[in-house]
Chain A
């Protein structure tokens, strides 16, 4: 079978739990010693690392949330001096400031091997040509997948995002065998392929690794039949490591979580109570092997459930269901995480005050499109056309700069956005995933 790290992916439950306990106790000692945020919290609650004598004791420790990360912006959550950090990445915060995450040299190695696991599980070998159509910038997607493919020894084509026609040209000419992208972008590629009259059978694609946004079995079928490849899901988030937290094997029946590196828990997002295996709830992750940026009980906001039964592939690792929704209002637009509050902040700041607005998300031929509808109020916009245009441009530019996505901005007459009980629904998500 295709297993990258048999020693760590096929342990007995007893072995996994012993290793997790050892590493959990060690990471608790490290964060208590090295991370001011955790030291404060543990000292306030009178928690000492010795309180953890079993994995279930983890539930005594408070959660880490996105707002904790924002409060400690930029480096407050780091467990090593900055000079030992060799890489910095970011992900979206709920407001203007992003989340900053760091990696030591060892962390990059750990990360590469974790991604190599999910790539191997998806069928990638060193004979493959892997075209990576994820962004290579400050987000973790591009680099993470890149390292994994390199660790396996595959030939990596670091395409980055966009430029669909060139992507297809390279896919044809270089004979790409593995596509790495968001599922949405895979559909867009398929669409363009059809438009250009290229038969997908003429391509060399055999596998596709899709992540970064939720996608359904229906989308999987569609991608598989239109691109003639085997599509697998993988999961990760920058705050925890980036891609490499979990990945599907060829059974396509849940994503194996790399439990030697992460402890998953499922909680009730309302009460914070830990739910038994099989119950759907919010995924909470604790990192066990990270040096620079350890996370204790990080609330991912993703809703899933866990399955500890053995998988036919031979891996003994727990599996999580494909993520289908969030416990908060975060939107995932073309693989980029966006919080409505972020957008609101920008609109209000450009408008210099509160203004009625609405965010509309649609999927147009596979690609997510965001339109921001802003009402013209007399106060600000009973002005000449030029100023309205510059307002539109400003909002666009600032969202693109701060949130990292392109949006359309539409101005409409006052009171023309539909209100329910006098309130505007801030976000309308028309996508069917």
Chain B
């Protein structure tokens, strides 16, 4: 469904992604793990068109999207749930959700479908339905995250890019979010690319994973194998192991 070849992305002079190649099949959950500054968010931003790559090729369902504008990419079926939720706090929950369907707001015929999508999202997150009239600024962290995911789903994406969905959440709330993501993948067959601080939780949920290090991919594998990989354990799973080279 998604195929990335040799993507190079820069911030000014900073070479943030170095020849990154990655693929995703429909229905997969793939996770990107790596330290801060490794390029995980940059990769998501390159996919969604926010940080367009200077070189390389991105194919989404066999169509090149490498230098498309973000709104066109959304229209093709890729939605991003940004890091830190990015919710419009002075707006109501309902209005925030509706903004997610911005692309469809002009087409009369879409009205009905948009309403259906919203109902689906309220079903997924009953708490949002309860608070639909409330201002988003009054929501808790977990609820904001749900709203952020819900807003992305309003565009009815085939590929969902999730950036740090558990950030700043209490463990029990984070778990709830993970559960939602898993259900989403299972029930609606949405393909998910997940960037997550909590590498262990991400690998347990994902089918496959990629490890990014200073802008380069250094590992690709089944999530279960990456969990067993000592390098991953040392660097990202908090297993405090000193590196000892015995020669």
Q: Could you list which residues of chain A lie within 8 angstroms of chain B, going by C-beta atoms?
A: 15, 18-19, 21-23, 25-26, 29-30, 33, 49-50, 52-53, 75-76, 80-84, 104-106, 109-110, 289, 291
Contacts and interface: CB of A to CB of B under 8 A. Distances in A.
Given A21-B21, A75-B247, A80-B230, A49 B5 contact: no
B225 A25 contact: no
B71 to A, nearest CB: 28
Nearest to B20: A25
Contacts of B240: none
Contacts of B211: 26
Contacts of B35: none
Interface stretch (B46-54, B166-174, B185-193, B214-222): B214-222
A431 B154 CA distance: 73
B18 A50 contact: yes
Contacts of A50: 8, 18-19, 216
B229 A29 contact: no
Contacts of B3: 18
Given A49-B216, A106-B229, 5 more contacts: A33-B213, A76-B247, A84-B230, A106-B225, A106-B228
B220 A33 contact: no
B244 A81 contact: yes
Interface string B1-27: 001011010000000001111110000
Nearest to B8: A50
A80 B244 CA distance: 9
Closest 5 CB pairs of A and B: A84-B230, A82-B246, A50-B19, A22-B21, A29-B218
Nearest to A33: B218
B123 interface: no
Nearest to B229: A106
Contacts of A81: 230, 243-246
Contact of A26 (B23, B220, B228, B244): B220
Contacts, number: 74
A21 B245 contact: no
Nearest to A21: B21
Nearest to B233: A84
Nearest to A34: B231
* Overall SS of chain B's interface: strand
A25 B240 CA distance: 28
A162 B22 CA distance: 49
Contacts of B22: 22
Task: Kindly name the residue among B8, B225, B231 whose own CB sees the greatest number of chain A CB atoms within 10 A.
Answer: B231
Contacts of B213: 29, 33
Contacts of B20: 25
B86 to A, nearest CB: 30
A26 B246 contact: no
A14 to B, nearest CB: 9
A26 B20 CA distance: 9
B246 A25 contact: no
Contacts of A53: 5-6, 19
A26 B219 contact: yes
Nearest to B211: A26
* Overall SS of chain A's interface: helix
A52 B19 contact: yes
A26 B245 CA distance: 22
Given A53-B6, A109-B225, A22 B231 contact: no
A26 B217 contact: yes
A109 B247 CA distance: 25
Nearest to B25: A15
Given A18-B3, A53-B19, A104 B230 contact: yes
A29 B217 contact: yes
A393 B211 CA distance: 56
A198 B8 CA distance: 68
Contacts of B23: 15, 18-19, 22
B50 to A, nearest CB: 23
A27 to B, nearest CB: 9
Task: Kindly name the residue among A18, A19, A81 whose own CB sees the greatest number of chain B CB atoms within 10 A.
Answer: A81
A25 B243 contact: no
Nearest to A80: B230
Contact of B221 (A29, A33, A80, A289): A289
A30 B218 contact: yes
Given A18-B5, A84-B230, A29 B246 contact: no
Contact of A21 (B5, B228, B229, B247): B5
Contacts of A25: 19-21, 216-217
Contacts of B230: 80-81, 84, 104, 291
Contacts of B219: 26, 30
Given A18-B21, A104-B230, A291-B229, A26 B243 contact: no
27 contacts: A15-B23, A19-B23, A21-B5, A22-B210, A25-B19, A25-B21, A29-B213, A30-B218, A33-B218, A49-B19, A49-B216, A52-B19, A53-B5, A53-B19, A75-B246, A80-B230, A81-B243, A82-B245, A82-B246, A82-B247, A84-B230, A104-B229, A106-B225, A109-B225, A109-B228, A110-B225, A291-B229
A18 B59 CA distance: 12
Nearest to A18: B23
B231 A80 contact: yes
Task: Kindly name the residue among A29, A83, A109 whose own CB sees the greatest number of chain B CB atoms within 10 A.
Answer: A29
Nearest to B216: A29
Contacts of A23: 220
Nearest to A79: B231
Given A75-B247, A82-B245, A26 B218 contact: yes
A60 to B, nearest CB: 14
A97 to B, nearest CB: 16
A33 B216 CA distance: 11
B12 to A, nearest CB: 19
Contacts of A110: 225
A50 B56 CA distance: 12
Nearest to A109: B225
A83 B244 contact: yes
A289 B222 CA distance: 11
